[in-house]
Amino acid sequence: VHDKGVLGYALRTENRDRIAQFRRDGFTFNKLKPYTRWDDVFSQAWDLWDTYVDKASPLSVSRVAIRYINHLTIPFPYNFAEYLTDPPTLSKGTPSQMTGYFKRSSVHDPSSGISANVIQALEQSPDANTVTFLLDIDVYRVVNCEPRDPALGGAFAQLHDMKNKIFFGAITEKTAEMYQ
């Protein structure tokens, strides 16, 4: 066993709704419930990124990413087609009670250089009157830039725009209205 020393630190706010990970190989910021606006989250992450750059002195940035893990609560009796544009379906002859579902798609937009991994899954709901549908969207771009490159902010804005295209493309108007 080889001791690698300290690999990084994970710091949480007192109410545990934000976590900043300062690692030797990167920085991650997580915002948990209650969720706020993208501008608020990005502003907090950007301030912490500045601190990370000051303290860790990274030489370059090789990847930028944002990830949203959405838990959509769908009431019983549910018809997935009312809530999702590409709903889970069962083939003919299959028992009609779906107890699990998992789909992973990886996509790439050559014009922007942005890639995304999109996971859709059915989860057990804590409430017997609903089902929880997971829509996990991880959007990223491979880059090669300096840690204080002013273009980084714009890169994150493009990632956020792509995340929104994927999210709003996956849900119906009825679902969007539920979360306004």
Express each pLDDT in 96-109 by its tens digit: 888 899 999 999 99
Tell me the per-residue pLDDT of 118-149, one tens digit each, with 9 for 90 and over: 999 999 888 889 999 999 999 999 999 999 99
d(CA 20, CA 3) in angstroms, rounded, equals 24
Indicate the Cα dihedral angle 23, 114, 168, 154, nearest 10°: 70
How confident is the model at residue 51, as a pLDDT?
96
Q: What angle do CA 73, 78, 80 make, to 5 degrees?
A: 80
> Could you give the domains of the chain?
1-58 (no CATH), 61-89+98-180 (3.30.2030)
Tell me the per-residue pLDDT of 60-70, one tens digit each, with 9 for 90 and over: 999 999 999 99
d(CA 51, CA 54) in angstroms, rounded, equals 5
How confident is the model at residue 2, as a pLDDT?
78
Residue 155's nearest CA partner among 62, 41, 68 is 62
Contacts of residue 103, Cβ cutoff 8 Å, sequence gap at least 6: 88, 119, 120, 121
Is pLDDT above 90 for 114? yes
- The answer to whether 118 and 133 are in contact (CB under 8 A) is no
